[in-house]
Structure 1
Amino acid sequence: MRRTTLSALALAAGLMAPAAFADAPAAAPASTDPVVATVNGMQIHLSDIQKAAQDAPQQLQQLPPNQLFPLLLNQEIDRAALLVAAHQEDLEKQPTVAAAMAHAANVSLENAYVQQHVTSAVTDAAVQAEYNKNYAGKPGPEEVDARHILVKTKAEAEAIINQLNHGANFATLATKDSIDPGAKNGGELGWFTKDQMVPA
């Protein structure tokens, strides 16, 4: 019964409000932010629908206002009805739910802090200044390109060294004798800096 009543309310609001929805500013002041639906005393304002429209997928945003408005309004009514039902069952008092809500609140607070104090400071000019100060004109760390042959015993290693001293091809021996997974590439390790390699 409640579901039928809410759907009828959504349809009525959708038929009355498309023009206002299309022309309203993105963030309407409270005095010009009409209530477009009510669910058990919980009000849904035009600004809630505008926020839902901004967060909607791009394809959905392309719909004409007279189609988009009732769709988003129904969605917000469904969300409000679920929230009312959850509060009626005191779900927010369950330990796991309370912990998840607290975590979500902390994440929102962290994001707000970063947005206010960090993101605003990371400008193109600040990035360019940091680059000029610490990186521009300075050589990067020295890199080496290395190959290796991995064997199990000292005797195997000495035998391979003897072959190399007599002109054997390193990549060929690596492919044939190395037990390293990179052996098929001739023992190639790639380019790396000194601090990226484990001690001998």
Structure 2
Amino acid sequence: MKVFRTLSSALLVLLLLVFAAGAETAKTGDPAPEVKAAPSEAKAPADPLTVMARVGETEIRLKDVREILGRLDPQRAAMYDNEMGHRAILEEMVNMELFLLLGRELEVEKDPGFVEMLESVKKDIIRRFAIDRVMKDVKVTPEEIAEFYEKNTENFTVPESVRASHILVSGDQEMEKVREDLKAGMSFEDAAKKHSVCPSKEQGGDLGYFSKGQMVKEFEDAAFAMKVGDVSAEPVKTQFGLHLIKLVEKKDASVRPLEEVKAELVEALENDKKGKIYQDELARLREKYKVEIVGEKKEETKEEVKEEKAREAGK
């Protein structure tokens, strides 16, 4: 299939990243970069260390192909997680290795642009490792989690909500036809499918759950005042037209249990701690390395103000 012959630029970037990190290499003693790929009709072996292709002295193993697959988004991964997809990935990995060999032939490492880019990447990696090193000991204790949860229960409160269905029509004549069908025994859902002008008609008028503030006031007031199973005695008029409402279910306000929100709390508390450490470390570094923003007016210290006043007085 054509879809497997050309991989997207996103996948190519991932391939480059993997090869930049370094694929496993084994010395075979072959001087020429001869490419030997596994035949396409062969079934992919299960052993992750199985060699899938050789490019000169470099071996590409099944686990390398799987690593690429693991870096793809779920939809694309599903597309390539088969024999043809694995072969397509393998072919691109071979291509990237060939370009690596070409780069070495051309001695691109000596190119000034390459050296500059390499130094820039190196600096980025150093920064990332430095920040990770500073943050590595950040931990959140169970006591901190429990305390934050108790003090902020309002943040974990799920408001009262209702589930309702409705039939929306433009005027009184249309609403009368709805009422006639309901009196004749037609179900609310079927009447919605027949008469409603709202897209929800496809679901029998079902609007799902909603809390206060999500619907127009007239509709919301009527829905929240009803009992489960009731159909509004009179149509509710809004800017959209006339609604006949059926209340399907009602949920009282509740607080999400700690276990349900624990992961969110850990992440939030860790981020708070990391943010403080980050700022504290920056303050320490600015003091240590004497940062100066060129052209920015420097704020005078109290001692400097006194000295300035003394000089003025001595004139």
Which of the five TM-score ranges fits, normalised by the shorter chain?
A: 0.3 to 0.5
Q: Hey, which of these two has a bigger chunk of strand by percent?
A: 2
* Larger helix share, 1 or 2: 1
Query: TM-score scaled to structure 1, two decimals?
Result: 0.46
